[in-house]
Each structure stands twice: as C-alpha cells, then as structure tokens.
Amino acid sequence: MVKSELVQKLCNMHPNILRKDIEKILDIIIIEMIEALCRNEAVEIRGFGRFKTVMRKARIGRNPKNSKVVQIPAKKAIKWKMSKILFKCLNKNFTENKISATN
C-alpha cells in the first residue's frame, strides 16, 4: 500500500471529510514522526509497533565492484519492532497449525 491508496481508503471510510484535509492530516502525522525520530525520541503506535533510532558503528567494508577496502562511517538508522497484536495477527495461521499438529 502506498500513501495515495491509504488516503483513498480513508476518504472512502469518512466521506464527510475532504480529501485534501485527510492528505494534510496524514502529512502532519508523518512529519511529526520524522521530527521525533530526528530528536532521538521513540515513536510508538499502539497495536502497530515502535520506531526508534539506533547508531550504527563505523566499520570497514569492501566495494563489490573492485574489491577495494572502504571505510563506512557511523550513522543513524531506524529500528522497528512490531507490537504483540500485529505479531499475533500476522502469525495466526502458523500458530494454529502448530497447536493442531502437536495434539
């Protein structure tokens, strides 16, 4: 799903809200999440997951084209952990099969 599909789905669910208002709301949510992550704050959306920034250490890598050694600098990255609710929803069929297979 891309952003425009999400906006369309929200428009279908809430026909009394204008499309441009829904787009603006979605933009505000995304911008606030980005700004919080830039401030090294964790962003938690209950039932979905938690985003947080982590520092990756500087390391030595290798260029695959010419096999030369390259210094890769330290940098920030985002780590995401899904919620238990989402995990259970995604793995419902797998856990049900394991339970029935063990009986």
pLDDT averaged per 10 residues in sequence order, the chain, 103 residues: 95 95 96 96 96 96 94 96 94 69 51
Q: Is there a single domain that holds both residue 55 and residue 101? A: yes
- pTM, full prediction: 0.75
Q: Is there a single domain that holds both residue 61 and residue 33? A: no
CATH code at 66?
Answer: 4.10.520.10
Closest CA to 5 of 25, 23, 28, 29: 23
**Count: domains in the chain:** 2
pLDDT of residue 102: 52
* 3-class DSSP state of 6: helix
Q: Which residues form the domain of 12?
A: 1-39
pLDDT of residue 99: 54
Rounded to 5 degrees, φ, ψ at 78 are: -105, 135
Whether residue 42 contacts residue 51, with contact meaning beta carbons closer than 8 Å, is answered with yes
pLDDT of residue 94: 75
Element (H, E) at 45: strand 43-45
